Amino acid sequence: MNKERSEDLTDTEKISDESSQTENNNKDEVKSEEVIDPKDKEIEDLRKALSEANDNLLRVKADADNFRKRITKDFEEKLKYANQSLLMDFITFADNIDIALAHLQGAEEPSIDKIKEGFELILKQFKDILAKHGMKEICCEVGEQFDPNKHEALMLDSRDDMDNNTITMVLQKGYTLNDRVVRPTKVKVNKK
């Protein structure tokens, strides 16, 4: 009977052990459920989202900095060579002056007419270069009405044969660059 009782006790102990293990497992499950509280999960998700947003922000900042540097470099490069076309035209102009001077040096007595003709061709070529790049001479003639937008009065005249505020003499030609006055025509103006 003792033997049966001890077996019963052992079975009871086993059941008791099993139930305590089940309780422990249930407690562990409850504890693990407590650890995965919905608020904690939401906080963790928000932390991950914030971390991703910070990473994206850093990438965007780096991209913007690289873009700004690339644009600045491109602008500086274009600015460095912006006048290349104009200067290439001036090289051709300088070549023609060299040719004219070489012809003058080779001639025993160059005629004034030939020299004048050469300078007229050089001047025409020079004005063509200016016009090609948007610079044009301001048309101004004696007797024309003074316009402060395109003329600069350097001297005054008092002539009775001309109207008041008219140009009596052109002292220096003026120029426009793409329709903007870059140098006004310097003139003498009649004031009565």
| Best CA proximity match to 121, nearest among 103, 141, 140, 142 | 103
Quote the pLDDT of residue 91: 82
Of 126 and 7, more confident:
126
- Burial environment of residue 115 by CB neighbours within 10 A (0 to 12, 13 to 18, 19 or more): middle
| Residue in this structure with the two tokens 């009565």, named with its chain if needed | 192
Question: Do 185 and 165 form a contact (C-beta atoms < 8 A)?
Answer: no
Q: What is the pLDDT of residues 14-57, one digit of tens each?
A: 555 555 555 555 555 545 555 577 888 889 999 999 999 999 99
Answering whether pTM is above 0.85, one says no
CATH, range 135-192: 2.30.22.10
Percent of the chain with pLDDT over 90: 43
In the chain, helix, strand, coil percent, each to 5?
A: 65, 15, 20
Cβ within 8 Å of residue 134, ≥6 positions away: 177, 178
Domain spans, the chain: 135-192
